[in-house]
Structure 1
């Protein structure tokens, strides 16, 4: 591959997506505060018995999801780069993982259609497994 650093482009886009979801979550929470749906004290322990709006909870859960599988993806991309294994296959898998997370996020924070959300979430995990197996085969 002519420029192996390209493996980090999907990582950087995913980081920007994470910041976007954080911003959406924050704005939805501020809207809830302004409307009086929740009080500031709710955010101290989240145990006030108050419930945030469904759309806010969706954004919060998606933000949490972006803290789960993506760190493994970042690590796999780093291993791929450091070991000189940036191949067209690994690049394709990296872009497919990013696509799965973008689809998952779009569905999760908008329509929240569970079948499509589950499919995109599962596809992302499958892609991580394929990336891991590909590297493992190269190492042994």
Structure 2
């Protein structure tokens, strides 16, 4: 992985090709899901992906707490850093779970909103449920990439797949009204 972490290095053509392949695989998966008939889903069933998304967020939060506190206890980070987030910054890997956690507080809020609207409007179908699970899966992979090795091209590709999935969920919901 060392070659992936070189500072200032621009991604190669092969890396861009890999990013494109990951995004296209996501689009193909969405297209395959879209061939299913629009079978109504139990609105209570749409809560399961929300719970899974919350569980992912909780796990990442726990990793953040462990990484930060462990780093302070073992001398890998200073309390001064956590006062102003500028003085004596720790190694980048210590803050990865915190960055992943912050990321889970951003776009996923739109995921929760669209699922709550589907429940409120009795507008959940099997495809939306499958897309919701695809969103949770892609966000889980994104968090794992971010925390474990932070390879930006792959992280971006999986993030793009999650955003495309969410956009399709919103479009399907809006068009069904």
TM-score of the aligned structures, taking structure 1 as reference length: 0.92
Q: Structure 1 residue 53: deviation in Å?
A: 2.0
Aligned to 1:40: 79
For the aligned residue pairs, the C-alpha RMSD in angstroms reads 1.3
Aligned to 1:123: 161
CA–CA distance in structure 2, aligned partners of residues 2 and 132 of structure 1: 17
| Native 8 Å contact 2:64 2:98 kept in 1 | yes
**Larger RCO (CA under 8 A, 6+ residues apart):** 2
Q: Structure 1 residue 2: deviation in Å?
A: 5.6
Task: Tell me the number of residue pairs that the alignment of Structure 1 and Structure 2 aligns.
Answer: 138
CA–CA distance in structure 1, aligned partners of residues 95 and 82 of structure 2: 13
1:71-105 residue CA offsets vs partner (Å, 9 max, x unmatched)? 11000000011111110111011011001101101
Aligned to 1:5: 44
Aligned to 2:19: none
Structure 2: which 5+ runs fail to align?
1-39
Equivalent runs, 1:1-140 vs 2, <5 Å: 1=40, 3-48=42-87, 50-139=88-177
Structure 1: which 5+ runs fail to align?
none
TM-score of the aligned structures, taking structure 2 as reference length: 0.74
Name segments (4+ residues, structure 1) moved above 3 Å: none
Structure whose CA Rg is larger: 2
